[in-house]
Structure 1
Amino acid sequence: MEDDEDCPRSTDVEDCDLTYQEDAILQRLEGDGEEEGHWSRSSVITKESLLAAQKEDLRNVMEVLAVKEQHARTLLIHYRWDAGRIFESLDEKGPDRLFSEAGVLAAVGNEGLSTPANPLTCNVCFETIPTDAIFETNCGHSFCNDCWTEHFIVKINDGQSRRIRCMAPECSAVCDEAIVRNLVGARCPDIADRFDRFLLESYIEDNDKVKWCPSVPHCGNAIRVDGDVYCEVECACGLRFCFSCSSEAHSPCSCPMWELWIKKCRDGSETANWIAVNTTPCPKCHKPVAKNGGCNLVKCICGQPFCWSCGGATGREHTWSTIAGHCCARFEEDQMKKTELEKRDSYRYRHYYRRYKTHSDSLKQESKLLETVRKKISISEEKQSIIRDYGWLTNGVNRLFRSRRVLSYSYPFAFCMFGDELFKGEMTAEERKLKKNLFEDQQQQLESNVEQLSRFLELDFPSFSDDEVACIMQHVTNLSSVVDRLCRQMYQCIENDLLYSLHRESHCIAPYKPNF
């Protein structure tokens, strides 16, 4: 190791002021953020635990309302599996209105379907049906078993089986799931199984607090959050994603910001850039046209001739003296302004994309760092050293990963925040400039400290002396704390200074998690 002002060879443990207080620092770092009440806790629901998770919510509603499981499920599906909303509605509306609005007409009294006393005419097939082949629902509507079965099968095949309503017009009663299962199972057992699967998966499909993991191929897991849905979660398969929009974790970008950035990246690809520079759109069909000769009169495949220089449509003959309606030699001020604006927007996008890509690539390279550090720790532990605890190293790597991700996504945020696509007219030019300078100052500080942390973590510390390792420990510990603090400050700046006075209801930012 070459001599360095930050870590000279002559430095010893006492000079680095390391009296093993790093443990307390690390504990404080690990505990940071737990007091933030807006954090959402998440849990993974596997195929095996899905039924148990559903049963738990069903049991709570069944106990409070004293209803059967099927009616509790119907209520929960109606209220998107939010038991709290059910209990609030119970207080506001009373039990009768609560049940009727959800289509639960059998919450009290007779269950499901009943057999009428006399033969009846089915109001669907208009056949006279004996009493053992026709049922009357608790809502008072009678149909034959065959028509009920056909109705259930159609609804299940259409994916509407979670709340199958009565066939009678304008009737909102939800059919008894046991009768659906029995009638359909007698004719099509596989469709009855699908019905049961739909009821089970309703806990995910109709639940605002639960979402399937978007992994490809699908891992089969789902994630449940307790708290704000604007958060980033991690599945047991290792995939991290935004719970709100199911795309990759993109904080501090809001979901609309990330959607805009992804669209811009697609539109700003190399192919799109080449087309913009080397082609002219046809004035008739608007397809991009490239010329393969020297003459500037070109003809699109749609048959429209036009001037390639300016894009103006021409007649069937092209002479520079007889083209009506335009002149390629005439300078147009508006066109110049439009061209300059397009160039500025293109340069601005490339500026932010290049820096976003730089830090994203660094993160990919640093993803291998944790395994490398573990190997270095293993080598160091075999040596007779005064430093025996290397938790500061793994903590530093984790902080580097998180801060690098925040730094990477801060550039798409800045592109959207200070552009005209999302907040046009909501900030004056002066306000935009002040906010931009404030954010870029914090961005620059974070970037500088992240690079320093990365440099120290990549050092080959097993080959260093104990004094040098102690000095590295001090730098890594301090920098881990600094980048964590700067990340928090950046999020606070976004929430309190940048978005506070704007339409922030559609731009909720997932909170910063230091160990995510």
Structure 2
Amino acid sequence: MDSEDDMLYEDDSDQMDDDEDDQDDFVDIGMDPEPTSAKHKNEEDFPYEVLTTEQIVRHMVDCIKEVNTVVQIPATITRILLTHFKWDKEKLMECYYDGDQDKLFSEAHVISPFKKTLGATAKKEMTGLECGHKFCSACWSRYLTTKIMDEGMGQKYSYLFFLYYTVLLNFVRDPKVKLKYQHLITNSFVECNRLLRWCPSPDCGHVIRVHYYDCKPVKCACNHVFCFACGENWHDPVKCKWLSKWIKKCDDDSETSNWIAANTKECPKCNATIEKDGGCNHMVCKRCKFDFCWVCLGPWEPHGSSWYNCNRYDEDEAKKARDAQEKSRAALQRYLFYCNRYMNHMQSLKFENKLYATIKYKMEDMQQHNMSWIEVQFLKKAVDVLCQCRQTLMFTYVFAFYLKKNNQSIIFEDNQKDLENATEQLSEYLERDITDDMLVDIKQKVQDKYRYCESRRKVLLDHVHEGYEKDLWEYNDP
């Protein structure tokens, strides 16, 4: 089933296998000449690989060839079908052989390769595609260049570029445009494949490939550790769903609205928001100049009359106003309680990362006092544990914010308190000035404390994970 459309895959794969420099379809985009994938297996037995851009291209070509060997259709159409099924090869082949093929091609916006078409033509500067519609060759060149360089390649246009790559080769000669096209194709492959994810670290071009999709931590070649499911920094013990809600809550202005509701009132005439900044209850709206009472929100004029009952309590109206304001005030206070502790550990974690430089100096100084390199490694280990505990504690407050109170949540808070106290003590030990006369004593204290922190962190996480497995946690979504 060789065709002109297959050049991108067949030629490219052969050239990569032979390590040739002259590639017709893929120009040099700075890939490693001899890439190697790093295979990992983390502490929770979640196997994954770290791949370079070149390996991703090879993987894409291999996937297309594997499927094409079975379905026996042009490689370009195979790629469109794989994209349509998010590169789920088994699902594609199941639908291809067990379903309606005409419907399959139609849903994927592909012209069936089994139907006779007018074919591509090129005559008098006019070019036609398989559908038979002809356009000016110069217009094709400008159109494709604009779509690639200015608009990128969204899902709306990806099928066009996948299907008519030979047209692009004929009319796009600029190496920069071809380079951008190749990046877009590769990125599209990664973005729609649920078993692949770009490393979110800035300026890192590696991709993580997993064997199965799950919310697990992965570590890139650049040493960045993140959650494979959501791409955020690894956030155990909170789940991706609640972390996403928390980040959105912190980013939007919902808490500003809560503060306004808790600390301001609206002008009873024009509804302008007013904050009281003095003791007098006689308010004058700056917008509409309406005089009213801050206490009862009624007109100010009758307040001097003996018959006016501003002091009389209206149970129904007061209850509505009080409930609304108290609810907003309580929600704000609760959010600030957890947010302040979350931000505090985040800030401490940044300082702890700077602590590595200080510890390195201390380790070098210790080696000048008859201690070997091995003997001073306890300090680096202690900072590693400290950073892990800070990060865990940071996300425990996100978990606790959405957690309903029950017996299990009380146990969780006790574990959280124990870990927090031990973490603060370890931080104090590491920030002390270590002198010669206290060297042995402080070493033993640091080792004992970071081991205790490790054990308390494990107890906390094990308890949360057990709660997930046994469905013990109840959530409150404010």
For the residues of structure 1 that align with 2:292 and 2:200, how far apart are their CA atoms? 49
Alpha-carbon distance between aligned partners in 1 of 2:266 and 2:127, rounded to the nearest angstrom: 67
Q: Which one-letter code corresponds to 1:444 in the other structure?
A: K
| Whole-angstrom CA distance in 1 between matches of 2:234 and 2:296 | 43
Q: Structure 2: any 5+ residue segments left out of the alignment?
A: 1-40
Give 1:391 deviation, angstroms: 4.0
Return the structure number with greater relative CO, CA threshold 8 A, min gap 6. Answer: 1
Q: TM-score, normalised by structure 2?
A: 0.69
Alignment match of 2:48 (pick from 33, 41, 52): 41
Amino acid at match of 1:82: D
How far apart are 1:132 and its partner, in Å?
8.7
Structure 2 vs 1, CA of residues 440 and 151 (structure 1 numbering), >3 Å: closer, same or farther? same
C-alpha separation between the residues in 1 aligned to 2:76 and 2:296?
66
Contact 1:221 1:235 survives alignment (8 Å) = no
More helix by share: 2
> Comparing 252-261 with 270-279, which one deviates more in the overlay?
270-279
Which of 429, 446, 454 aligns to 2:419? It is 446
**What is the identity, as a one-letter code, of the residue corresponding to 2:409?**
K
Q: Report the Cα distance in structure 1 between the residues aligned to 2:270 and 2:222, rounded to whole angstroms.
A: 47
**Alignment partner of 1:219 is 2:226:** no
Judged with a 3 Å threshold, the aligned counterparts in structure 2 of structure 1 residues 132 and 452 are, in CA distance, closer, same or farther, namely: closer
Identity of aligned residues (%): 25
Work out whether 1:71 is the aligned partner of 2:110.
Answer: no
Q: Provide the secondary structure at the position in 2 that maps to 1:145.
A: strand
Q: CA deviation at 1:415?
A: 1.1
State the Cα deviation string for residues 290-341 of structure 1 (Å, max 9, x = none).
Answer: 467846242252x373635157475xx843379xx99575352343344444
Q: Distance in 1 between matches of 2:334 and 2:69?
A: 59
1:30-74 CA-to-partner distances (Å, cap 9, x unmatched) read: xxx94634x36363645x665345334434434454554423321
After TM superposition, give the deviation of residue 219 of structure 1 in Å: 1.9
Instruction: Tell me if 1:376 matches 2:362.
Output: yes
State the secondary structure of the residue aligned to 2:302. coil
Deviations 1:387-418 (A, max 9, x none): 94444443332222112111121112111223
Matched, 1:396 2:379: no
Contact 2:199–2:205 (CA<8 Å) still a contact in 1? yes
Amino acid at match of 1:230: C
Q: Is 1:486 equivalent to 2:459 in the alignment?
A: yes
Query: Bigger shift: 256-265 or 90-99?
Result: 90-99
Which residue does 1:149 correspond to in 2?
140
Q: Alpha carbons of 1:41 and 1:392: their partners in 2 closer, same or farther (altered >3 Å)?
A: farther
Q: Output aligned runs, 1:388-467, within 5 Å.
A: 388-418=374-404, 432-458=405-431, 460=433, 463-464=436-437
Cα distance in 2, alignment partners of residues 358 and 133 from structure 1: 65
Say how many residue pairs are matched. Answer: 425
> Is the aligned partner of 1:164 residue 2:147?
no
Q: Return the letter of the residue paired with 2:313.
A: R
Q: Deviations over 1:95-151 (max 9, x none)?
A: 7776565345465798993459xxxxxxxxxxxxx79946462xxx32223399399
Distance 1:389 1:193, change over 3 A: closer
Matches within 5 A, 1:77-476: 77-90=83-96, 92-93=98-99, 101-105=107-111, 113-115=119-121, 133=126, 135=128, 137=130, 141-146=131-136, 149=140, 153=144, 159=154, 160-164=156-160, 175-182=163-170, 184-185=171-172, 195-214=181-200, 218-219=202-203, 221=205, 223-226=207-210, 227-233=212-218, 241-265=226-250, 275=260, 279-283=264-268, 286-290=271-275, 294=280, 296-301=282-287, 303=288, 305=290, 307=292, 309-310=294-295, 312=297, 318-320=301-303, 327=310, 329-331=312-314, 332-385=318-371, 388-418=374-404, 432-458=405-431, 460=433, 463-464=436-437, 468=441, 471-472=444-445, 474-476=447-449
Query: 1:309/1:225 Cα in 2 relative to 1: closer, same or farther (>3 Å)?
Result: farther
**1:417 is paired with a residue of what secondary structure?**
coil
Amino acid at match of 1:144: K
Instruction: Assess if the C-alpha contact under 8 Å between 1:406 and 1:487 holds in 2.
Output: no
Change (3 A) 1:327 1:488: same
1:54 aligns with 2:60: yes
TM-aligned CA distance change 1:309 to 1:232, over 3 Å:
farther
The CA RMSD measured in Å over matched residues stands at 4.6
CA shift for structure 1 position 371:
2.6
Distance (whole Å) between structure 2 residues aligned to residue 319 and residue 481 of structure 1: 68
State whether residues 430 and 446 of structure 2, in contact with CA within 8 Å, keep that contact through their aligned partners in structure 1: no
CA distance in 1 between partners of 2:413 and 2:336 (Å): 17
Contact 1:161 1:198 in 2 (8 A): no
Q: Aligned partners of 2:346, 2:164: CA distance in 1, in Å?
A: 53
Structure 1 length normalisation: TM-score?
Answer: 0.65
Letter in 1 for 2:140: T
CA contact (8 A) 1:136 1:142 kept: yes
Segments of 5+ residues of structure 1 without an aligned counterpart are 1-32, 117-129, 166-173, 419-431, 507-516
Change (3 A) 1:452 1:100: same
The structure-2 alpha-carbon separation of the partners of 1:445 and 1:493, relative to structure 1 and needing over 3 Å to count, comes to farther
Q: Does the residue aligned with 2:215 lie in a helix, a strand or coil?
A: coil
Matching residue of 2:23: none
Distance 1:102 1:177 in 2: 17
CA contact (8 A) 2:264 2:274 kept: yes
